[in-house]
């Protein structure tokens, strides 16, 4: 009997130890199995295949189409404008250096809807293409206290005016010179409207008795007199004929392509076929035959006596249209709605005349994207290969392909050592993001990634000659526009402001590493301009970088989103951890109990 009990004890101890070892091993195995299933589940969840796009009534598909359901995290755009506080001193040239105050934030919420009719899924390479409609809505409750986006007036430099000067060959006076035709035409039209025949009006114009009716300007009328001290014997034509000739030249310069620069000087005609070709055109149109020297005398006459009469009217009209060098515009005009009527009058192109900094409405025909949603290589997930019709950007030193995500999600399994790439349509390039630090959001562990330091380093490939400043002039018809961190953060030339604050002004995203989802993001960029002096209004302005506006695109997961996320992801992780710990614990207990039984049996057998 004793031997039987001893044998039974040995069997029990072996069973207990065996069970303990099984559970000790099974705990980690179960953990691996659960985590493997979790990884597979995440992989399946973040991919989108043909079934996803075919099931258009499925809740997940419907949620994907828009970003403004009640449980969606709102996407806010916060704008801070730089207002020139000494604008009067700058305009009167009593100060050479503009001074600014930052005004903001003016906050808008962006609402986006994918147009179902534009969705095309390609099962071959796992990409989807679609277009989005979007609009911005002002959110007063999120904006700064007392701010009014349609009432607050901001003064700053107008980049489009530099484009006008560039078209005028760098000389502000050339903005006025081609307008002699319309000025003289308006004078003649006013006279005819007052009851004169065209012949009578031209005769009175010749003997200086014609009072300019349009535009009405005391200075214009008071100075519209013949100056006898200016000698014209070289021309061999009478004073009235000179006035009539100027009228015809003005008309011709306004209505013919080759005569667009008719009121510059003779040397400016080289790009338009030279003076000879122009004078041939003039002779054919008016019957007046002049040689180059005679024409130069007429132009000098215009420059000395008629330009000062024309300029106030032309520049006055530009200022009235808020199209001058330092206009005052409302916040909403600067940001979204301004149409430059000077540019529109010259080009007839509404798109070219829409010179606001940003756009507040897009449509699915132009706001397009093609990206990987079910790639063979999971690390290509969410990478875009087309954005706003762009697949290749040709304007840098060499073409580059669109090849990065939209910075709203990457791939599952992000690690701290990874370099995450995002396509950025503001800077027109792919941007590298590198790990900064761990970051917790509503109890969820994330990695904070920020712009890699070399993104804004000096780089000839992107025409970047100054640290911290992305040169965008190649996209702005040569206008010297630059992008940087707000407050010129980390910029060279000593531009960085004392107010630069990395926490408030840097760009970063919080990436949940298991899924690659971005749970919080802050993209911050400042628009600046090199503002040169000008030949007429601002001859003493010190040329340097001037800040115009900076913007923050921000989105943060809501607390409810975080709760749902944790239930879907973290609870499964907790189950795996529990299985692992329980298996280890139970295994150790049973192994220990088996060892005790074995010891007791051995002792009794010895006895």
Mean pLDDT of 115-122: 96
Q: How many CA atoms lie within 13 A of 569 on its CB side?
A: 22
Please state, in angstroms and rounded to a whole number, the distance separating the CA atoms of residues 135 and 574. Answer: 41
Q: What is the pLDDT of residue 228?
A: 32
CA distance 563 to 509: 20
Handedness of CA 27, 28, 32, 35 (dihedral sign): positive
Of the chain, the end-to-end C-alpha distance in Å amounts to 14
Q: What's the confidence (pLDDT) of residue 297?
A: 59
User: pTM value?
Assistant: 0.78
Q: How far apart (Å, rounded) are the C-alpha atoms in residues 283 and 265?
A: 18
Question: Looking at 147-161, 216-230, 351-365, which range is the least confident one?
Answer: 216-230
Give the separation between CA 60 and CA 115, rounded to whole angstroms. 16
Phi/psi of residue 413, nearest 5 degrees: 85, 30
- Give whole-number Cα distances, 107 to 65, 304, 406, 512, in Å: 24, 51, 22, 27
Say how far apart CA 393 and CA 407 lie, in whole Å: 19
State how far the Cα of 393 lies from the Cα of 240, in Å rounded to an integer: 58
Residue 136 has pLDDT above 70, yes or no: yes
- pLDDT (0 to 100) of residue 584: 47
CA gap 42, 572 in Å, rounded: 11
Contact criterion met (CB below 8 Å) for 252 and 262: yes
Q: What is the DSSP string of 443-460?
A: TEEEEEEEE-GGGGS-BG
Q: What's the pLDDT at 426?
A: 94
Phi, psi values for residue 308, rounded to 5°: -60, -25
The answer, yes or no, to whether residue 13 has pLDDT greater than 90, is no
Q: How confident is the model at residue 591 (pLDDT cuts 50, 70, 90)?
A: very low
Q: What is the pLDDT of residue 10?
A: 43
Look at residues 473, 483, 475 and name the one whose alpha carbon lies nearest to residue 390: 475
Q: What is the rounded average pLDDT of the residues 504-510?
A: 97
Are 486 and 509 contacting, i.e. CB atoms less than 8 angstroms apart?
no
Band of the pLDDT at 550, cuts 50, 70, 90? very high
Rounded to whole angstroms, how far apart are CA atoms 551 and 538? 29
Query: What pLDDT is attached to residue 372?
Result: 96
Phi-psi region of 500 (alpha: psi -120 to 50; beta: other; left: phi over 0): beta
Summarize pLDDT for 402-453 with one digit per residue, the tens: 999 999 999 999 999 999 999 999 999 999 999 999 999 999 999 999 999 9
What's 373's DSSP letter?
S
Give CB contacts under 8 A, 24+ apart, made by 288-296. 288/245, 288/248, 292/266, 293/234, 294/234, 294/235, 295/266, 296/265, 296/266
């Amino acid at each position: 009997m004793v031997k039987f009990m001893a044998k039974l004890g040995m069997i029990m101890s072996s069973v207990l130890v065996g069970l303990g070892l099984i559970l000790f091993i099974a705990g980690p195995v179960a953990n691996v199995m659960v985590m493997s299933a979790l990884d597979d589940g995440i992989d399946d969840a973040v991919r989108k295949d043909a079934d996803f796009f075919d099931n258009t009534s499925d809740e997940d598909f419907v949620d994907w189409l828009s970003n403004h359901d009640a449980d969606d995290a709102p996407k806010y755009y916060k704008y801070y404008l730089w207002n020139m506080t000494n604008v009067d001193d700058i305009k009167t040239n009593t100060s050479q250096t503009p001074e600014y105050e930052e005004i903001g934030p003016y906050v808008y919420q962006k609402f986006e809807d994918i147009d179902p009719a534009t969705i095309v899924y390609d099962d071959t390479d796992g990409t989807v293409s679609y277009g989005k409609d979007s609009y911005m809505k002002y959110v007063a409750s999120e904006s700064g206290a007392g701010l009014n986006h349609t009432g607050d007036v901001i003064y700053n430099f107008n980049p489009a005016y530099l484009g006008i000067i560039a078209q005028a060959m760098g000389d502000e006076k050339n903005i006025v010179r081609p307008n002699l035709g319309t000025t003289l035409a308006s004078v003649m039209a006013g006279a005819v409207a007052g009851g004169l025949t065209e012949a009578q009006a031209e005769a009175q114009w010749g003997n200086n008795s014609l009072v300019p009716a349009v535009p009405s300007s005391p200075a214009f009328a008071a100075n519209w007199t013949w100056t006898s001290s200016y000698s014209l014997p070289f021309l061999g034509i009478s004073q009235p004929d000179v006035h009539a000739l100027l009228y015809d030249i003005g008309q011709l310069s306004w209505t013919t392509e080759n005569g667009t620069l008719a009121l510059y000087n003779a040397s400016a005609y080289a790009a338009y076929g030279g003076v000879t070709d122009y004078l041939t055109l003039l002779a054919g149109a008016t019957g007046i035959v002049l040689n180059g020297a005679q024409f130069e005398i007429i132009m000098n006459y215009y420059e000395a006596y008629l330009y000062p009469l024309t300029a106030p009217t032309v520049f006055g009209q530009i200022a009235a249209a808020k199209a001058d060098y330092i206009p005052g515009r409302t916040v909403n005009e600067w940001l979204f709605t301004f149409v430059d009527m000077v540019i529109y009058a010259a080009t007839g192109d509404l798109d070219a005349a829409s010179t606001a900094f940003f756009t507040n409405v897009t449509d699915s025909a132009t706001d397009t994207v093609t990206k990987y949603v079910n790639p063979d290589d999971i690390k290509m997930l969410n990478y875009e290969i087309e954005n706003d019709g762009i697949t290749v950007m040709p304007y840098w030193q060499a073409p580059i392909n669109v090849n990065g995500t939209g910075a709203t999600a990457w791939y599952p399994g992000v690690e701290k050592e990874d370099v995450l790439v995002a396509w950025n349509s503001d800077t027109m390039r792919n941007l590298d993001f590198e790990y900064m630090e761990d970051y917790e959001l509503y109890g969820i562990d994330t990695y904070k990634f920020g712009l890699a330091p070399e993104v804004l380093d000096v780089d000839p490939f992107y025409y970047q000659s100054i640290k911290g400043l992305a040169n965008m002039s190649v996209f702005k018809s040569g206008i010297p526009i630059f992008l940087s961190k707000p407050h010129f953060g980390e910029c060279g030339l000593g531009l960085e402001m004392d107010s630069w604050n990395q926490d408030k002004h840097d760009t970063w995203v919080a990436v949940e590493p298991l899924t690659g989802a971005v749970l919080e993001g802050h993209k911050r960029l400042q628009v600046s301009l090199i503002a040169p002096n000008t030949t007429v209004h601002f001859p003493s302005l010190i040329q340097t970088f001037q800040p115009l506006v900076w913007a923050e695109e921000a989105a943060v997961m809501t607390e409810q989103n975080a709760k749902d996320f944790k239930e879907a992801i973290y609870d499964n992780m907790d189950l795996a951890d529990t299985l692992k710990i329980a298996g280890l614990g139970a295994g150790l207990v049973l192994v220990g109990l088996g060892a005790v039984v074995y010891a007791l049996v051995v002792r009794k057998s010895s006895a």
